[in-house]
Amino acid sequence: MVKRIGVMTSGGDCAGLNAAIRAIVLHADAHGWEVVGIEDGTLGLYERPMRARRLHPEEFDGILLRRAGTILGTVSHGDPFAFRMPDGSVVDQSDRMIEGMRTLGIEALICIGGDGSFRILDRLCRKGGIPLVGVPKTIDNDVYGTDAAIGFNTAVEVAVEALDRLQPTAQSHDRVMVLEVMGRDAGHIAIHAAVAGGADICLIPEIPYSFDNVAAKLTAVRASGRSFSLVVVAEAVRTDKGEPVARPKPDGGIRYGGIGQWLADRIESELGIDSRVTVLGHVQRGAEPIAVDRVVASALGIHAVDLIASGRTGTVAVWSRRSVGELPLAEVVGRSRPVEPDDILVRTAAGLGIYVGETAACPAVP
């Protein structure tokens, strides 16, 4: 019989994490289990004294459900097998973290994270013989096997709200407004926002585009008598020459940002249309969760506890067709969920006349 489980949030934060933690704590309590919240992902297990604390149902009195961020804190690094030390060296700290979980008396772990977090924790928990269940969260919505990851819908809402605010000022000034949104290598936020926010152009990393056709679309909008346009571009879109617009991160990896400015500059210089760019950035992550994210987070949190109770660990709880299910971690880890060229959102966007790039779904630009 499980008596105590651990929960951690890992990777970039997003809206709905506290709602998921709440569901886990309340449902674990109903099973008669204790929940230990580990702070700052694997960092809490590495440090001595460890940073972890009992989470009590009374803490979740209705306020935290609504609050953005994560009460546990999170980090986007901290691979136990390649742990970066203060002096810059990279050391395997997996034994120390496993020993930490044993000291805390954790008999199973729930990780609320993305694909990268699942990969490192799957390896750690397998080595330590500690059952693991993953709960998918990421505004990028690129976790394989789940229709929605926690945080995605709120991020889309923020982007649509931005377009709603850009439209009147675009109209007042006869401008092209370029909105750059997050999503890393996936264009889910961009394509959803473009459809819901009435954009004219939406560029995503999964679909190539031609600047000539961007220009043709903007020219066609003007010729139709409308003097403003809205453009959504996902952060990982490359220039039309295929060059990435990104900078290296100090600890490895890359940081996207700048394609919106590149596009706006190009539109201004080649078409002579006054253009401005808005980079939404982390505003998409820090919003209070909208209802659907609270619902998905709650359902996935409850299901994660049920998976432990029924011994179906080594899995990721997923949200699919308005219900919960689970997939083996091995099936989810290392795979991604890009926007497919025949995705319903791509077809819908193209059907609305939005230029989404060079895809069969997109009719020739008028």
Which of 40, 115, 140, 200 is flagged as catalytic? 140
Beta bridge partners of 121: none
Residues within window 276-305 making contact with ligand F6P, judged by CB under 6 A? 285
**The one segment of 65-73, 100-108, 157-165, 182-190 that binds ligand F6P by CB under 6 A:** 182-190
Choose the stretch contacting ligand F6P; rule: CB under 6 A; options: 50-58, 86-94, 176-184, 216-224: 176-184
Kindly state the smallest distance separating residue 60's Cβ from ligand F6P, in Å: 25
- Of 121 and 218, nearer to ligand F6P (C-beta) is 121
79 binding ligand F6P? (CB under 6 A): no
When the beta carbons of 27 and 285 are compared against ligand F6P, the nearer one is: 285
Q: Are 13 and 74 in contact (CB under 8 A)?
A: yes
Q: Does 187 bind ligand F6P (CB under 6 A)?
A: no
219 in contact with ligand F6P (CB under 6 A): no
* Binding region for ligand F6P (CB under 6 A) out of 128-136, 180-188, 270-278, 345-353: 180-188
Residue 274: active-site member? no
How many C-beta atoms surround the C-beta of residue 211 within 10 A?
A: 14
- Long-range contact set of residues 308-312: C-beta below 8 Å, sequence gap at least 24: 308/2, 308/5, 308/108, 308/110, 308/131, 308/133, 309/2, 309/31, 311/131
Least distance in angstroms from the C-beta of 159 to ligand F6P? 12
Quote the tokens at residue 115: 């694909």
Per-residue binder mask for ligand F6P (CB under 6 A), 248-277, x = binder: --------x---------------------
Please list, in sequence order, all residues whose beta carbon lies within 8 angstroms of the beta carbon of residue 122, skipping any fewer than 6 positions away: 132, 134, 314, 329, 330, 333
Query: What CA–CA distance (Å, rounded) separates 341 from 355?
Result: 13
CA distance linking residue 175 with residue 172, whole number of Å? 8
Piece in contact with ligand F6P (CB under 6 A), picked from 31-39, 49-57, 134-142, 167-175: 134-142
Residue 3 beta carbon to ligand F6P: minimum distance, rounded to whole angstroms: 34
CA-based nearest residue to 72, from 55, 49, 89, 85: 55
The single residue among 19, 139, 191, 199 that binds ligand F6P, judged by CB under 6 A, is 139
User: Per rule CB under 6 A, is residue 40 in the interface with ligand F6P?
Assistant: no
Q: Does residue 354 bind ligand F6P (CB under 6 A)?
A: no
CB under 8 Å to 215, separation ≥6 — which residues?
267, 270, 271
| DSSP label of 237 | P
Total residues contacting ligand F6P by CB under 6 A comes to: 11
Residue 182 in contact with ligand F6P, rule: CB under 6 A: yes
CA distance 363 to 1: 59
The Cα 121–Cα 44 span in angstroms is 13
Interaction between residue 176 and ligand F6P (CB under 6 A): no
143-172: b or e for each residue (b if 16 or more CB lie within 10 Å)? bbbbebbbbbbbbbbbbbbbbeebbeebee
Contact segment (CB under 6 A) with ligand F6P among 59-67, 132-140, 204-212, 266-274 equals 132-140
- Is the Cβ of residue 74 or residue 275 nearer to ligand F6P in the bound state? 74
To ligand F6P, the closest distance from the beta carbon of 57 in angstroms equals 30
Residues forming beta bridges with residue 141, ordered by sequence position: none
Closest CA to 5 of 176, 135, 191, 187: 135
Instruction: Report the alpha-carbon distance of residue 126 to residue 65 in Å, rounded.
Output: 32
Reading the block at residue 266, the tokens are: 């190009």
Please enumerate in sequence order all residues whose Cβ is within 8 A of that of 75, keeping only pairs 6 or more positions apart, or say none.
10, 40, 41, 42, 43
Minimum CB separation of residue 256 from ligand F6P in Å reads 5
Nearest to ligand F6P of 5, 193 (CB atom): 193
The yes or no reply on residue 12 touching ligand F6P (CB under 6 A) is yes
115 vs 200, beta carbon nearer ligand F6P = 115
Judged by the rule CB under 6 A, the positions of this chain that interact with ligand F6P are 12, 76, 138-140, 182-184, 235, 256, 285
Catalytic residue numbers? Answer: 140
